[in-house]
Amino acid sequence: MLQPTKDCRDRKALLRFQRHNLLSIRCIREDEVGFVVKKVSEAALTQSPVDLSKTFFSLTASIICRVALGQNFHESAFFIDQEKIEELVTEAVDALGAFTFSDFFPGVLGRFLDLLFQRHKRINKVFGELDAFYQHVIGDHLKPEGRKDPDIVSMMLDMIDEQGSEDSFKLNMNNVKAILMDVFLAGIDTSAVTMIWAMAELVNNPRVMKKAQENIRTTLGVNRERITEDDLGKVDYLKLIIKETFRLHPALPFIIPRETMSHVKIQGYDIPAKTQIQINVWTIGRDPERWTDPDDFKPERFTDSSVDFRGQHFDLLPFGSGRRMCPAMPMGVANVELTLMNLLYFFDWGLPDGMKVGELDMEEAGNISIVKKVPLQLVPVRRY
């Protein structure tokens, strides 16, 4: 059975896909965000609350299923439905973040205790189901006519077909499954979680919400029918809002653990070789020694600031840093920016059930990624 791997060959294949298929990802994303606008417009007709937590998870799952598998759930049925895929991904992320003894007692003792208390039972079960899912998808792509769309699976199978016997780097079926595992586990909830927190902070901070909407509507002009990727990057205030959301709500509070290759001394502390290092970007983002009023949502703090999230400023690391930083940062940022721009241009947003500003429950939950514990329900009013 496939275990999660972190092989740099997987990473190279993903980067190759990113460079060559940005255009097709753009069409998919515009299409899927268009479906969300349509669905929210229907709710606006009856002034019904929309579960934005669910909406954003389904949106990012749809984008990933189309980009990775070529599967469009709006057009055709599949052997597994989209909700089941979302359920498997959520369970896998939870199981990966659950307590194991070997995290604290590396070596034989930890492994023995995990075996004794069956700590890996849950993870093995869900990874087994995901493995069967990937196997089925690969099988479909190997059939004649199975590779008509330029999706990630087709691209990797083409790479396998093209490789020669002399090539030093060879992709195999386990690499294909490992990349799918990476894309599904890292690509769905990270963008969704960021959008949920951004909308929650905006509705909790009406001044920022109003300024954002005015900025977007003035910049893009009135009565537009569609907001597309040509509009990305045009609204400076939205960029500040996204940065501020990354600071207060990094999707992954701890980036992927690192291991020291040799003895190092940091601020007077001796760290021996082969020590696992956990980097808590959530705490760094709220550190009062680095940020003024760290708990307040103030996008203006980034006006005229050179601090950004591309891994060079260690005060703000929502995508990590260095060789293992997120390889899909442009895709993640575009998902968030395009969706927020559409939702803030076309709709005004209110709290449901007579709830007042400041009463929204902002409690966090989760282990690997931090989600909003209570789903975000908001009432839309269509503006254009």
Annotated binding site for heme: 326
Shortest CB 282 distance to ligand HEM, Å? 11
Kindly tell me which of 88 and 326 has the beta carbon lying closer to ligand HEM: 326
User: Residues 6 or more apart from 26 whose CB is under 8 A from it?
Assistant: 229, 334
Please, which of residues 252-281 interact with ligand HEM by CB under 6 A?
252, 255-256
Q: Is 284 an interacting residue with respect to ligand HEM (CB under 6 A)?
A: no
**Do 163 and 171 touch, CB atoms closer than 8 A?**
yes
Q: Is 13 an interacting residue with respect to ligand HEM (CB under 6 A)?
A: no
Shortest CB 294 distance to ligand HEM, Å? 19
**According to the 3-state scheme, what is the secondary structure of 296-355?**
CCCHHHHCCCCCCCCCCCCCCCCCCCHHHCCCCHHHHHHHHHHHHHHHHHHEEEECCCCC
Amino acid residing at 21 = N
Q: Which residues are annotated as a binding site?
A: 326
Q: Is 251 an interacting residue with respect to ligand HEM (CB under 6 A)?
A: yes
- State which of residues 127, 134, 319, 349 lies at the interface with ligand HEM (CB under 6 A): 319
Both tokens of residue 359?
């009463």
Shortest CB 218 distance to ligand HEM, Å? 26
**Do 56 and 200 touch, CB atoms closer than 8 A?**
no
- State which of residues 325, 351, 355, 362 lies at the interface with ligand HEM (CB under 6 A): 325
Kindly tell me which of 187 and 366 has the beta carbon lying closer to ligand HEM: 187
CA–CA separation, 183 and 185 (whole Å): 6
Kindly tell me which of 55 and 321 has the beta carbon lying closer to ligand HEM: 321
Shortest CB 371 distance to ligand HEM, Å? 13
Q: Is 92 an interacting residue with respect to ligand HEM (CB under 6 A)?
A: no
SS3 294: coil
Closest residue to ligand HEM, Cβ-based? 320
CA–CA separation, 382 and 370 (whole Å): 30
| Size, binding site for ligand HEM by CB under 6 A | 26
Q: Is 59 an interacting residue with respect to ligand HEM (CB under 6 A)?
A: no
Q: Is 369 an interacting residue with respect to ligand HEM (CB under 6 A)?
A: no
Radius of gyration of the chain (CA): 22
What is the per-residue DSSP string for 194-223? Answer: HHHHHHHHHHH-HHHHHHHHHHHHHHH-TT
CA–CA separation, 361 and 203 (whole Å): 12
**Do 238 and 219 touch, CB atoms closer than 8 A?**
no
- State which of residues 327, 340, 341, 379 lies at the interface with ligand HEM (CB under 6 A): 327
- State which of residues 324, 359, 361, 384 lies at the interface with ligand HEM (CB under 6 A): 324
Instruction: Name the residues that contact ligand HEM, by CB under 6 A.
Output: 6, 11, 14, 182-183, 186-187, 190-191, 194, 251-252, 255-256, 318-321, 324-328, 331-332, 336
